[in-house]
Amino acid sequence: MRYLYSALLYTLLPFIVLRMLWRSRRAPAYRQHLAQRLAHFDVAARAALATPAPTIWVHAVSVGEVLAAAPLVECLLRDWPDHRLVLTTTTPTGSERVRALFGQRVLHVYAPWDLPGAARRFVQRIQPRLLLIMETELWPNMLHYTHRSGAAIVLANARLSQRSARGYARVAILTRTMLQQIDTVACQAPADGERFLSLGLPPAALQVTGSIKFDLVLDDRQRALAFALRSDFNTDKRPVIVVASTHSGEDEIVLAAFAEVRKTQPDCLLVLVPRHPERFAQVHSLCLAEGWQVVRRSAGEPPGPRTAIVLGDTMGELLVLLGSASVAVIGGSLVPHGGHNMLEAAAWGVPVVTGPYLHNFEQISELLVDVGAMIRLEQPAALGRCLSHLLAAPQRLAQMGAAGRAAVAANAGAQARLLQVVADCLSGER
């Protein structure tokens, strides 16, 4: 089955390259480092690999996975200082976050496309002792050649929605083979584990460790930056709605809801943060076209009294921006994308509102709804009414925020359990 998959991938390769070039019209980084996607390293990467060292390979697809993995990577750097850390991503935004967070402390390259030659070449060149895959990225050739090399494979912070499980079940033979090559699947929740088992994961390979997203720690620097933002946004006198990580089709919904909110909260400030940098200019134009006074965060100017919208067009600031919010709306949930991490808002004690599409965060969203920290709308069109009601009820906002902060604290500990899994693998106890 893997051979058929590989043949199909080779057939599609010209279209994959064309798609990368097409996306590079708005985001030039997509056409950079294309050779790395075939496991041909540049001079700097080859030089970094020239010194012999045992290697831990961490694969994090994009921004969300990189941010989730960041505290774990810091622990790996601390606990295994004699090991080289190779951190791969597949998107330019993920790459930018890796460089901003870790600089030269890790070797960052793009993950190869899952072609047999590229995957084999990549594994031969980095020679990992351990492959740590964040969340659920199952690539047949990546797993095959890593397993064949003798390296341990851990699927970390793993989640598997019912929708994704149905998709993997359609290629049951290939999925079963991949799962049997993984040493440990460290799941976020028992329901995820049951789905992996139903697809062919050996029971001995399953551990339920919880979600490392609950282990978010807000440091003094982040708290100071959020305090400064609250001053800039004048939050003592005006409510602030932070809408995090919007996708195409959501900004129009948000702006319509904001117009409804301003009828009863005329001083309300909207902080709108698109998920992808290539959409910054488009969303800015949309806001202006609808008549809003907009300040771009990248301009470095605080909003004035007449400013209605701050466009979050910078990278790496979302967590701090959430710390300034009266209420947070999580993008990716108003259209059928699957949602994004709502725990970043909850950790600040900020009430959360989402749309109905949360299949990537089912367990976390159910928990936050159950404890009263989050409202999950049945219809995106209800967003404006919901926000208006919340902003008119400060006591409820405070209760929701406290419930979210408590839920995050109560469910921490997954990172320590995952680090034990890593230690067992690196010491050969697997």
pLDDT digits 0-9 by tens, 310-359: 999 998 899 999 999 999 999 999 999 999 999 999 999 999 999 999 99
- pTM for the whole thing? 0.87
Is-same-fold flag (2-210+413-426; 220-410)? Answer: yes
For residue 203 the two structure tokens come to: 């029971």
Which of helix, strand or coil describes residue 398?
A: helix
Using pLDDT thresholds of 50, 70 and 90, give the confidence band for residue 430: very low
> Is a pLDDT exceeding 80 seen at residue 375?
yes
For residue 413 the two structure tokens come to: 């500990």
Once rounded to an integer, what is the mean pLDDT over residues 244-249?
A: 97
> Is a pLDDT exceeding 70 seen at residue 429?
no
Strands 107-110 and 55-59: unpaired
- What kind and span of H or E run contains 207? strand 206-208
Which of helix, strand or coil describes residue 129?
A: strand
Q: What does the pLDDT read at residue 23?
A: 84
What amino acid positions are annotated as catalytic residues? 65
Phi then psi for residue 168, to 5 deg, are: -65, -30
Q: Which of 216-220, 226-230, 347-351 has the lowest mean pLDDT?
A: 216-220
Once rounded to an integer, what is the mean pLDDT over residues 24-32?
A: 82
CATH class of 2-210+413-426: alpha beta
Q: Kindly report the average pLDDT of the chain as a whole number.
A: 94
Report the CATH superfamily, name and number, of domain 220-410.
Glycogen Phosphorylase B; (3.40.50.2000)
Give the CA count within 13 Å in the CB-facing half-sphere of 230: 17
Question: What whole-number distance in Å separates Cα of residue 408 and Cα of residue 391?
Answer: 23
> Is a pLDDT exceeding 50 seen at residue 417?
yes
What are the C-alpha distances in Å from 214 to residues 144, 161, 217, 329? 31, 19, 9, 19
Percent of the chain with pLDDT over 90: 86
Strands 55-59 and 128-134: parallel
Residue type, 318: L
- Detail the DSSP E strand segments found in 331-388: 352-354, 374-376
**Mind listing the pLDDT tens digit for each residue in 46-80?**
888 988 899 999 999 888 889 889 999 999 999 99
DSSP H helical segments within 52-161, as ranges? 63-79, 92-102, 116-126, 140-148
> Is a pLDDT exceeding 60 seen at residue 394?
yes
What is 154-190 written as a DSSP string?
EEEEE---HHHHHHHHTTHHHHHHHHHT-SEEEESSH
Instruction: Delimit the domains of the chain by residue range.
Output: 2-210+413-426, 220-410
